[in-house]
A and B are shown apart, each in its own frame.
Chain A
Amino acid sequence: MVSTTLHHHPPRSLSRFLSSSTTTKSRSFHSKPTQCSSQPITDKPPSSTSSPPQSQILSIRHSLLSRHVTATQLAESYLTRLKLTEPHLKSFLHVSDQVLNEAQSLDHQIERNENIGPLAGVLVGVKDNICTMDMPSTAGSKVLENYRPPFDATAVKRFKELGAIVVGKTNLDEFGMGSTTEASAFQVTANPWDVSRVPGGSSGGSAAAVSAGQCVVSLGSDTGGSVRQPASFCGVVGLKPTYGRVSRYGLMAYASSLDVIGCFGSSVADAGILLTAISGYDRLDATSSKREVPDYTSQFISTELLDSKPLKGLKIGLIRETLDNGVDIGIKSAVLGAVSHLEELGCTLSEVSLPSFSLGLPAYYILASSESSSNLSRYDGVRYGNQATADELNALYGDSRATGFGPEVKMRILMGTYGLSAGYYDAYYKRAQQVRTLIQKSFKTALDEYDILISPAAPSAAYKIGEKKNDPLAMYAGDIMTVNVNLAGLPALVLPCGFVEGGAAGLPVGLQMIGAAFDEEKLLRVGHIFEQTLQGCRFIPPLIADCDAQ
């Protein structure tokens, strides 16, 4: 009752916020009343009703502004769940000890009727290859053990300025190199749907943390699928923006021409709100785009306002090559189910062929490894990080790197060094760049004809921990669905669309939607409508259902 009243007669502080934000970025998230949970968020953020996922960010905002809940109470509820689930999941490498302090100071601001940022009180998990000031940032590597950067990554700085709180640093495959998070130098993260399975990777910690409600949203990085594949494995929304949409400043480089910072949320709206917060030109990143950032949140129309065919006229291309052999049958049927759902919403579905698709995987591994061999040269033990005791210079280099890097990283550095070597450059690096151009062109052609392209996010659901650890080629092959998108620099959204058998409650399957460059708006609009109208699916992992029951 109280909250309904508030929706119609917002308190002064809310109207002040909506009219003009006091934060340095004047971005406000205009909410439609029906989008927000009418129940205040307490200790059960992921709604346990069968209704579609709601934006936790908007609910938090309303709860705080209505004084229904304090930021401290909110933070405590997340931290409690984090403490309960973390022994099973190990998604965090570091949990901030400042969360409650920051929440309390936010509460004081609210008490004093001061303006609060649009992300006030939102707990964000940050992948540990993204720099955070006064907090360890290790990239999951021994070579950076205990390293604390003297600055925040631009993306982190931006969401902090809007009031969000870093809850901690999430686990990853060392420097983002891996698809399971098993290649972390510190710990193996488990999948909240089945703790004997991997959460995917390399942003496995960020995906698992959102899936398990350990934080509201999280940042990951996506070089070849590292946001989208773990989103698929963990049943959350993963958004890989267009290359250049989000500043890479503060993201420890793996493959600079492919790396992007991406967002995880439990709803499309949350991923989109986080994207709005972190997007935009940054003078510290020469590859960031000067294009204006649209307000992505305007795409999140209430389902009640939708007509029966809300996506009428939208042309969707299903990438034929992504349903070839090698894709699990259960994945295929889940994706075909999603196709039917999109058709019901009014879309026109056709198959589209991208003949260069299969070339993407080898090209990706050559380019990513080549760039990484260069990007990781700076970890030499001279200025920071792991420094071996050595008598002479070459031994200092050799030993610092031998003891600092894990086997997957070493393998990629070796492969990349080879690919760039005199006599091999033309056959490997240069050829791979030519393939990249072909792939960009074929996507361009397809996206001139179709509004969006769809495919599975991964050829299988989450597999067992250890299953592919000693078979790198099998693991690399799992990236077939995602790497082409990075080579083309395009935006893609992965959202849960169904289940396959496995674990106690089935395993989630992600649908990948690929858009034209800088057309995140369309992806978010389609994704939101898809999500809000999907029937009979709840993507709440059994682990937190258990925890919440305690």
Chain B
Amino acid sequence: MKNSQTQTATQEKQQPPQIKVSPQNHHTKTKPLDEITQNYEAVIGIETHVQLSTLTKAFCGCPYNYASQPNTCICPICMGLPGTLPVLNSKVIEFAVKLGLALNCKLSLNSKFDRKQYFYPDLPKGYQISQFDIPIATGGHLDLDLPVEFGGGHRRFGITRVHMEEDAGKLLHSGDGAQVDLNRAGVPLLEIVSEPDMRNGIEAAEYAAEVQRVVRYLGVSNGNMQEGSLRCDVNVSIRPIGQSEFGTKVEIKNLNSFSSVSRAIDFEIERQALLHSQGQGDQIFQETRLWEEGSQKTVTMRKKEGLSDYRYFPEPDLPEVILTEEYVDSIRGSLPELPEVKRRRFEKMGLSMQDVLFLANDINVAQFFDATIELGADVKLAANWIMSDIAAYMKNEKLSIDEVKLTPKELAELIASIKSGTISGKIGKEILFELLAKGGTVKGIIKEKDLVQIVDPSEIEKMVDKVLSENPKQLEQYRGGKTKLQGFFAGQVMKISKGKANPGLLNKILLEKLNAKS
């Protein structure tokens, strides 16, 4: 009955749910490869770009909407026209501080912007406004619980830094060559750089999923990977187990789902391990590789020719970013309960890790759950209702929990009504779907449809007598030893009670009557 599809890294909302990771990935290759990879340890770090859901861009007043026509969300400033200047949207700082605090980072009370300089047609100023040597947040960590189906376990991954920067535009390639769409140019980003703490694709994908959860909890981004609101570039190297220095690092781009993060990393680990095992470790180059979803492979995008020199220097058009302790405190005070804290709390309520992960995955679901149990509903029952029928309904109707008509109050009422015996579980389910689709109250629906359970033994007895007297043949057969017919009689009684007879009482009375000496 329980829907066990805990939403994890491997099952994003928009993804078909059954994308499996790692183990199935190399079914064509056989044992030897597994044995080879066992001799190596992978070292994985992730750079995540989070596009902030501010109303306007980072340095101008343009709104940004993902699906807009090319070059309709632009102005002289984000086009980089001569004479224009950037002015910082203060929401960017607020969001950066929120995320920095949520990632347990130390905040720089005095940071600044720098220019990162390179030429590319989607970069209208010839430089990106970013933060170089003094990022707004440094030295944090992110806690997460691996999904049960991947062995579970708690992990803590280090966060090196979080910094603010602006997005570039996009190149649109067509038959006549490339065109530039600057809608995205100047949209604020937070870049999160992790420590190289992850060891396999699952860990990396779960790290990314937790980042998504955190930014959604904070409301700083929609975290949508398909739209590019959350972008992960991963760095993968391997080294023989026991070796302390790192191997040559390869960067992988074009990862637009958590499962591609996981699969690309596992592919890359195998590729590198194979090269090592064949004595071709020197054929692993420091390069950027692209994940190809079609062929499920990484391919060379560009080799790095030494370190790029971005000639960073402090952005002279923007004043320093100065945060006061009061400001930071006020933001700290406004943070919601974060996923990790929520999970620990749910765990203490006695819920299984699978339930915990499901309920804490979406802040709105978690809030719905919390509100339901605050009204006195049984924890386990509330969790089960939410994870099974409510989740299934939301999925089928493509609705979020905020969009269904059911309220926590009515769910609590429903659970209480079943527990008290006012209605049966079966009737409860019917009422639930009514509430989800149309709203209303449990009491109202019970009254309107006359659904109160029949718990009066004499009333049930009357119905049993009626059924027995109308089916003498079956009664005879039963008494002749065909006791399986009990189910038939129970069904008949339930039918004339319109499903309202209390099943326990019904069976008790029925058995007494059936077995009574005639």
Q: Which residues of A contact B317 (CB under 8 A)?
A: 253, 256, 286-287
A422 to B312 Cα, complex, angstroms = 9
Contact A429 B313 (CB under 8 A): yes
Q: Which residues of A contact B83 (CB under 8 A)?
A: 130-131, 137, 149, 153, 249-253
Q: Which residues of A contact B88 (CB under 8 A)?
A: 286
Of the listed stretches B121-129, B250-258, B340-348, chain A binds: B121-129
Of the listed stretches A18-26, A345-353, A370-378, A507-515, chain B binds: A370-378
A291 to B88 Cα, complex, angstroms = 20
Cβ of B228 within 8 Å of any chain A Cβ, yes or no, is no
Contact B121 A131 (CB under 8 A): no
Contact B85 A384 (CB under 8 A): no
Cβ of B231 within 8 Å of any chain A Cβ, yes or no, is no
CB < 8 Å neighbour of A150 from B76, B115, B117, B313: B76
Q: Mark A405-433, 1 if CB is under 8 A from B, else 0.
A: 00000000000010011100100010000
Q: Mark B92-120, 1 if CB is under 8 A from A, else 0.
A: 00000000000000000000000101010
Contact B85 A382 (CB under 8 A): no
CB < 8 Å neighbour of B80 from A153, A378, A420, A425: A378
Cβ of B350 within 8 Å of any chain A Cβ, yes or no, is no
Contact B87 A393 (CB under 8 A): no
Q: Is the interface of B mostly helix, strand, loop or mixed?
A: loop
Cβ of B318 within 8 Å of any chain A Cβ, yes or no, is yes
Q: Which residues of B contact A257 (CB under 8 A)?
A: 316
Residues of A118-145 at the interface with B, using a CB-CB cut-off of 8 Å, are: 130-131, 137, 139, 144
A250 to B81 Cα, complex, angstroms = 9
Contact B87 A284 (CB under 8 A): yes
Residues of B66-96 at the interface with A, using a CB-CB cut-off of 8 Å, are: 76-77, 79-88
Q: With contacts A130-B83, A284-B85 known, is A378 near B316, CB below 8 A?
A: no
Q: Which residues of B contact A420 (CB under 8 A)?
A: 117, 311-313
Q: Which residues of B contact A144 (CB under 8 A)?
A: 82
Contact B84 A249 (CB under 8 A): yes
Contact A286 B85 (CB under 8 A): yes
- Which of B83, B88, B121 has the most A CB atoms < 10 Å from its CB? B83
A250 to B119 Cα, complex, angstroms = 23
CB < 8 Å neighbour of B319 from A137, A153, A286, A425: A286
Q: Which residues of B contact A285 (CB under 8 A)?
A: 85, 87
Q: Which residues of A contact B307 (CB under 8 A)?
A: 422
CB distance from A136 to the nearest CB of B (A): 12
A376 to B84 Cα, complex, angstroms = 13
Q: With contacts A131-B82, A397-B119 known, is A421 near B87, CB below 8 A?
A: no
Residues of A138-168 at the interface with B, using a CB-CB cut-off of 8 Å, are: 139, 144, 147, 149-151, 153
Contact A149 B82 (CB under 8 A): yes
Which chain B residue lies CB-closest to A423?
B309
Q: Which residues of B contact A374 (CB under 8 A)?
A: 115, 117, 126-127, 311, 313
CB distance from A58 to the nearest CB of B (A): 31
CB distance from A366 to the nearest CB of B (A): 11
Contact B316 A383 (CB under 8 A): no
Q: Which residues of B contact A373 (CB under 8 A)?
A: 311
Which chain A residue lies CB-closest to B307?
A422
Contact A384 B309 (CB under 8 A): no
Q: With contacts A149-B81, A153-B83 known, is A377 near B126, CB below 8 A?
A: yes
- Which of A147, A149, A283 has the most B CB atoms < 10 Å from its CB? A149
Which chain B residue lies CB-closest to A143?
B82
Cβ of A182 within 8 Å of any chain B Cβ, yes or no, is no
A65 to B178 Cα, complex, angstroms = 58
Q: Which residues of A contact B80 (CB under 8 A)?
A: 378, 383
Contact A283 B125 (CB under 8 A): no
Contact A383 B79 (CB under 8 A): yes
Contact A378 B85 (CB under 8 A): no
CB distance from B71 to the nearest CB of A (A): 10
CB distance from B478 to the nearest CB of A (A): 88
A98 to B272 Cα, complex, angstroms = 70
Q: Which residues of A contact B119 (CB under 8 A)?
A: 377, 380, 397
CB < 8 Å neighbour of B121 from A130, A382, A384: A382
Cβ of A228 within 8 Å of any chain B Cβ, yes or no, is no
Q: Which residues of B contact A81 (CB under 8 A)?
A: none
Q: Which residues of B contact A248 (CB under 8 A)?
A: 85
Cβ of B180 within 8 Å of any chain A Cβ, yes or no, is yes
Contact A249 B85 (CB under 8 A): yes
Contact A383 B180 (CB under 8 A): yes
Contact B117 A377 (CB under 8 A): yes
Residues of A237-284 at the interface with B, using a CB-CB cut-off of 8 Å, are: 248-253, 255-257, 283-284
Q: Which residues of A contact B124 (CB under 8 A)?
A: 378, 382-383
A376 to B83 Cα, complex, angstroms = 11
CB distance from B318 to the nearest CB of A (A): 5
Q: Which residues of A contact B76 (CB under 8 A)?
A: 149-151
A251 to B79 Cα, complex, angstroms = 16
Q: Which residues of A contact B77 (CB under 8 A)?
A: 284
A533 to B38 Cα, complex, angstroms = 92
Contact A378 B87 (CB under 8 A): no
A279 to B325 Cα, complex, angstroms = 34
CB distance from A405 to the nearest CB of B (A): 13
Some 15 contacts from A to B, beta carbons below 8 A apart, are A131-B82, A149-B76, A149-B83, A250-B83, A252-B82, A256-B316, A284-B85, A285-B87, A286-B317, A382-B124, A383-B180, A420-B313, A421-B311, A425-B311, A425-B313
Q: A139-B82, A147-B82, A377-B117 are in contact. List 14 more A-B contacts (CB 8 A).
A: A144-B82, A150-B81, A249-B85, A253-B82, A283-B87, A284-B84, A285-B85, A286-B319, A287-B319, A378-B124, A380-B126, A420-B311, A421-B311, A422-B311
Closest 7 pairs (CB-CB, A-B): A377-B126, A257-B316, A256-B316, A420-B311, A252-B82, A250-B83, A131-B83
